[in-house]
Amino acid sequence: MKTAVLLFFIGAAVAVTYDECIQCICIVETSCAMPDPLCNFDLHGSEACGPYQITYPYWIDGGRQGGDWKSCTESFSCSNSTVDGYMARYATEARLGHPPGCEDWARIHNGGPNGHTSAATLGYWGRVHGCLHNYLP
Ligand X SMILES: *[C@@H]1O[C@H](CO)[C@@H](O)[C@H](O)[C@H]1NC(C)=O
Alpha-carbon span 10 to 78, nearest angstrom: 35
29 is catalytic: yes
**Residue 72 touching ligand X (CB under 6 A):** no
Which one of 61-69, 74-82, 94-102, 116-124 is the stretch in contact with ligand X (CB under 6 A)? 74-82
23 touching ligand X, by CB under 6 A: yes
122: how many CB neighbours lie within 10 A of its CB? 12
In terms of DSSP H, where are the helices of the chain? 2-13, 18-30, 56-61, 69-73, 76-90, 93-96, 102-111, 122-135
Q: Smallest distance from the beta carbon of 1 to ligand X, in angstroms?
A: 38
**Among positions 77, 92, 114, 117, the unique one binding ligand X when judged by CB under 6 A:** 77
Binding residue for ligand X, selected from 35, 38, 47, 80, defined by CB under 6 A: 80
Catalytic annotation on 42?
yes
Q: What residues are labeled active site?
A: 29, 42
Binding region for ligand X (CB under 6 A): 19, 22-23, 26, 32, 76-77, 80
